[in-house]
A = this chain, B = another copy of it.
Amino acid sequence: MRTREAILDAAEQIMLEEGYAGVTTRRVAARADVNQGMVYYHFGVMDDLFTELFRRGADKTFRRQAEALASPQPLWALWDMMQDPSHSALTMEFVALANHRKAIRGVIADSSSRFRRLQEEAITRILEERGAASDTWPPLALILFLSSVSRFLLMEQSFEISVGHDQMTAVVEDHLRRIEGERRTPPPR
């Protein structure tokens, strides 16, 4: 299984550095220091490689998210996680890829629903525990709010645009503060 993992690692690196269009059998094989035929032997056609790579990443993210949601300040932890570029970079690339590759769409859609359900369940519980039901947003709106904003800011940052980012971040964090209080762990980086 070492070859298999090497191929997935290589594909992931290339995808991050140059986008999904750069992920070709020839280049993946070269990067993994493996024969080109191996890619086909282990993964069949390219779509299967992408699918497998996505699953591997989703599983990792899923565990990471569960961890965040189980932490003392789950919303702050979730927010930190969503703002981590390394977390979203691959996801965004897969979203772009899925626009043209039908085989990928289903995998992403299923995975997203799975995440959304876990998030909803957790946030509902969190809001109830804190008795913050009245003056705050419904759980799903809160989730989509955090997801939307983090994704958008990351996207703009990759273009070196940052106009208004401070103001937007301040609004989000103000919202989190009203629910979970002052953040008790320092933000990453």
Contact = CB atoms under 8 A, between A and B. Distances in A.
B120 A140 contact: no
A54 to B, nearest CB: 13
Contacts of A165: 144
Contacts of A99: 19, 92-93, 96, 158
A160 B112 CA distance: 11
A38 interface: no
Given A159-B98, A159-B112, A164 B149 contact: no
B152 A148 contact: yes
A170 B138 CA distance: 10
Given A112-B161, A159-B109, A161-B109, A100 B141 contact: no
In the A-B complex, the 8 residue pairs with the smallest Cβ-Cβ separation, listed nearest first, are: A140-B164, A96-B96, A148-B152, A19-B100, A148-B148, A144-B168, A141-B167, A141-B171
Interface of A: 18-19, 21-22, 92-93, 95-96, 98-100, 105, 108-109, 112-113, 116-117, 120, 137-138, 140-141, 143-145, 147-149, 151-153, 155-156, 158-161, 163-165, 167-168, 170-171
15 contacts: A92-B99, A96-B99, A105-B159, A109-B160, A138-B171, A140-B168, A141-B170, A144-B152, A144-B165, A144-B167, A145-B168, A147-B152, A148-B152, A148-B168, A151-B152
